[in-house]
Amino acid sequence: MTALEENWLPLSPGERAVAIEVLTHGPLSRGELARRLGLSAGSLTRLTKPLTESGLLVAEPALAAAGQGRPAQPLDVVADSRHFAGFKITADAVYGVVTTLRSEVVARCTVPLDTHEPDGVAALLAALTREFATSFPRLAGIGIGIAGPTRARGVVVANTFLGWADVPLADLVRARAGLPVVVDNDVTALAEAEAWFGGGRGLDRFALLTIGAGIGYALVVGGRPVRTGDAGRGIGRRWIVDPYGPLTPDGERGTAGALLGIPAICRQVHAATGRPATYPEVLARAAAGEPVASRVIDEAARALGVMVAQIAELALPQKILLAGEGVGLLDVAGDVVAATIRARRHPDADPVPLETGPHDFHGWARGSAVLAIQVLVLGAATP
């Protein structure tokens, strides 16, 4: 058992609720904290005592307020008392960050991935963790986000980009790094981070739609992602947006991935023009009015509008967050997205609040670090 586990785990459900409330919304006075959680003063004192004794919470200096009696001491976390490493693994690189207890990024790195062998990837992650630890000696745990389904917060069930099946990644990294490790689907990890520290904080329900090499989706209800066996299984490969759209390698027509995925967009432009193009180049050409790029990007924007309208109709979210390296589409064809949403919904329907979230892989790595904070420190969100 690590020193972290000895000091901070396990927390009771009540202690966990207090810790999460202060972590995500603090500093909070005891009165405000009791009001938020529906607790009596005595119950709150009983729950906060072990949290302050362990060092997870601290009483901030009270500010005197004239004529208002004894000043209250707000409770807060010591954000830099522990640090966490978060990693996002893609087919060709590892993106890493170090965060505080409040998920503030204090260091980052990007390293090419020259092997897909599980042992080699684990060795690289352990080496990066040791390098981080030279500057952050109180590194307390590691979170890893990866495309595809996972099991028991430690096993990669399948990952097509790496060619993996049933890889016990958490065990492999833990054995080399000597720290607790949590592994989860990258979209789920990002949804957790947005629920606690990002655009979904304080909302009862929101949806997260990610655009990149594939299409990802997560629904958060009651402040927690809805977890099913479908997570990470490539929703964009089966989500039919336009039955007359482009043909996919699976033989389907007009899927979300075929219209909106970055590889598909680049492939369409290349096939039509004979010139290969990166995604930023396609966006730039579309913005400049080049016919082929404009047509492809407009079709992608309409696909996104259809998906957003469908999510709004069926999930009834308070907000839809768009994230991933493909969100630059909105800068070029946001008007097409908005027009499509309006056309697909009742004229009197409430507007769909759209917000862009993390668009680079370091933002995804931060989501992985939040997993480590949740599971390793608070014992929260365990399966």
pLDDT at 369 exceeding the cut of 60: yes
Q: Which tokens sit at 312?
A: 């709004």
User: Per-residue confidence at 71, pLDDT binned at 50, 70, 90?
Assistant: low
**Cα–Cα dist 318/307, whole Å:** 16
Which pLDDT score, from 0 to 100, does residue 70 have?
54
**Cα–Cα dist 305/339, whole Å:** 8
Average pLDDT over residues 368-374: 92
Q: Which tokens sit at 126?
A: 């352990």
pLDDT at 132 exceeding the cut of 70: yes
Which pLDDT score, from 0 to 100, does residue 57 have?
86
**Cα–Cα dist 96/132, whole Å:** 9
User: Per-residue confidence at 328, pLDDT binned at 50, 70, 90?
Assistant: very high
Percent of the residues in the chain that have a pLDDT greater than 70, as a whole number: 92
Number of Cβ atoms within 10 Å of the Cβ of 348: 5
Average pLDDT over residues 340-359: 91
Average pLDDT over residues 236-242: 84
pLDDT at 296 exceeding the cut of 90: yes
Picking from 135, 84, 92, 130, the residue whose alpha carbon sits closest to that of residue 110 is: 92
CA distances from 181 to 37, 139, 163, 306, 323 (A): 30, 12, 21, 38, 25
Sheet holding 224-225, edge to edge: 224-225, 215-221, 205-211, 320-323, 354-356
pLDDT at 134 exceeding the cut of 60: yes
Question: Do residues 59 and 73 touch, judged by C-beta distance below 8 A?
Answer: yes
For the chain, which domains are there?
Answer: 3-77 (1.10.10.10), 82-192+362-378 (3.30.420.40), 202-356 (3.30.420.40)
User: Per-residue confidence at 383, pLDDT binned at 50, 70, 90?
Assistant: very low
Which pLDDT score, from 0 to 100, does residue 380 have?
59
Beta carbons within 8 Å of 146's beta carbon, 6+ residues apart? 88, 89, 156, 159, 169, 183, 184, 185, 186
**Cα–Cα dist 69/73, whole Å:** 13
Average pLDDT over residues 290-318: 96
pLDDT tens digits for range 107-123: 999 999 999 999 999 99
User: Per-residue confidence at 63, pLDDT binned at 50, 70, 90?
Assistant: low
pLDDT tens digits for range 160-188: 899 999 999 999 999 999 999 999 999 99
Contacts 24+ apart (CB under 8 A), 134-139: 135/98, 135/107, 136/83, 136/98, 136/106, 136/107, 138/81, 138/82, 138/83, 139/82, 139/83, 139/84, 139/85, 139/98, 139/179
**Cα–Cα dist 180/172, whole Å:** 11
Which pLDDT score, from 0 to 100, does residue 1 have?
42
Which pLDDT score, from 0 to 100, does residue 169 have?
98
pLDDT tens digits for range 13-60: 888 888 888 988 888 988 899 999 999 989 998 998 888 887 788 887
Question: Do residues 215 and 261 touch, judged by C-beta distance below 8 A?
Answer: yes
**Cα–Cα dist 356/340, whole Å:** 18
**Cα–Cα dist 222/243, whole Å:** 34
